[in-house]
Amino acid sequence: MRNLSFFDDERLSLQNSIELTAQSLNAYGSAYKHWCVAYSGGKDSSATVSVVVHLIESGQVPTPESLTVLFADTRMELPPLHIAAMAMLEELSKRGIKTQVVLPELDNRFFVYMFGRGVAPPHNRFRWCTPRLKIKGMIGALRGLREEHGEKFLMLTGVRTGESAARDQRISLSCTKDGGECGQGWFQTTTPTDVADTLAPLLHWRVCHIGDWLMFDAPDLGFPTRPVVEAYGFDVTEEEQITISTRTGCVGCPLVEKDKALEKVLNLPQWAYLSPLQRLQPLYRELRKPHNRLRKFNERNKDGSLSAKQGRLGPLTMPARHHGLRSILGIQDEINGQADKLDRPFFFLINTEEERRIKQLITANTWPRRWTGAEARGDVPVARVFEGGVQPLLFPHRALQ
């Protein structure tokens, strides 16, 4: 059989894609004694870890001296995907593969950082979530592996370029329109070169290949990937998969207009009790509004000149932080009340340790760097200072209301 190329005009089949993956691992993997897989529990990384293990066990690629699977547990995954990820780690451990759950540091966890420190919900111009929830912890774990092995290793990620992968040389950095996993591209581009080299062995796979592998091949080989199939809705035609396949990140992700992944999960009868999670995105949108945030005016640079950032919105006010905490705890109490009645898994957006830490930070009057909490509320008019003069308020009485 002739060697296949990424740039062949023919449409790749799943078998062709698996063969290309084996060629990639044989070409690059032999240069490293130790391999590591960055695993997030989504469809691409689930396919990556199961394909790599299958190719090793079937003798199609060389067995590395060690294989470690690092699960980036953000504490914000969709419940069925998190449950499936735990089952996958258990299966891998049974096969003698080392696994490690990587959690963000307590103060970097989503709601601790938001309500404890006061940082506003992330948005596409201030995407603090991925570095803090996934990247920082994973880089630390990778450095630990580098120290343990005493040499660089090969890190495998689930990055794909999507439907046109055979002709597309771009590697998406975070979210892809055909269903990428939030953060996978960050692993590809931010892993320190003195720690590991990165390879995306499924770069060329189409979304239908991912669906077929997870739906049929992986379960037949003993990998628990059926819950991933259900969460993504792969039981449709290939054309429909390309249209409806969604990217996954945090549940109720504030970076997308609609959380299609959550919608798919809630359409499954066994997960319908999670419907209060639909209130997350409206809450984030409300918290980003000026009346829930502080604003800095007349800020100056070190040389005394006015900062271009004057008038910018900043952290959440204390009342907004208390409101946000109460709202999240209310959502999870509602979910777990139904879970208890239906004998379904409980789900904690904020666990006891995180709630305690949030309250400690609020009590200590904690604010983001260079903010004190004494700044004006975002919706309060303030006289503007410009180089050479001041623009007074037209209606000063409104600033006092």
Residue 397 has pLDDT above 90, yes or no: no
Q: If you average pLDDT over each of 83-92, 168-177, 201-210, 311-320, which comes out highest?
A: 83-92
What pLDDT score was predicted for residue 396?
A: 52
What pLDDT score was predicted for residue 399?
A: 46
Task: Output 279 or 9, whichever has higher pLDDT.
Answer: 279
What pLDDT score was predicted for residue 217?
A: 97
CA–CA gap between residue 39 and residue 223 (Å, rounded): 14
Which phi-psi region, left, alpha or beta, contains residue 71 (left: φ > 0; alpha: ψ -120 to 50)?
beta
What pLDDT score was predicted for residue 182?
A: 58
pLDDT digits (tens, 9 = 90+) for 111-164: 999 999 999 999 877 889 888 998 899 999 999 999 999 999 999 999 887 543
pLDDT digits (tens, 9 = 90+) for 239-288: 444 434 455 678 998 888 888 889 989 999 999 999 999 999 999 999 99
CA–CA gap between residue 382 and residue 393 (Å, rounded): 7
Q: Which residues pair with 207 in a beta bridge?
A: none
What pLDDT score was predicted for residue 1?
A: 41
Q: Which residues pair with 315 in a beta bridge?
A: none
- Nearest 10 degrees: CA dihedral of 186, 191, 197, 201? -20
* 295-320 average pLDDT score: 78
The predicted model scores a pTM of 0.84
Task: Output 272 or 4, whichever has higher pLDDT.
Answer: 272
* 213-236 average pLDDT score: 89
What pLDDT score was predicted for residue 170?
A: 38
pLDDT digits (tens, 9 = 90+) for 66-111: 999 999 999 999 999 999 999 999 999 999 999 999 999 999 999 9
For residue 260, the one-letter residue type is K
pLDDT digits (tens, 9 = 90+) for 323-377: 999 999 999 999 999 999 999 999 999 999 999 999 999 999 999 998 999 999 9
Please identify which residue in the block is written with the tokens 């004998």: 343
pLDDT digits (tens, 9 = 90+) for 23-58: 999 999 999 999 999 999 999 999 999 999 999 999
What pLDDT score was predicted for residue 145?
A: 95
What pLDDT score was predicted for residue 382?
A: 67
Confidence bin at 181 (pLDDT 50/70/90): low
Residue 216 has pLDDT above 60, yes or no: yes
What pLDDT score was predicted for residue 380?
A: 85
For residue 284, the one-letter residue type is Y
Alpha-carbon distance values, 290 to 139, 182, 311, 315, 375 (Å): 35, 28, 11, 10, 13
Extract the tokens encoding 327. Answer: 């709202």
Extract the tokens encoding 216. Answer: 């049929």
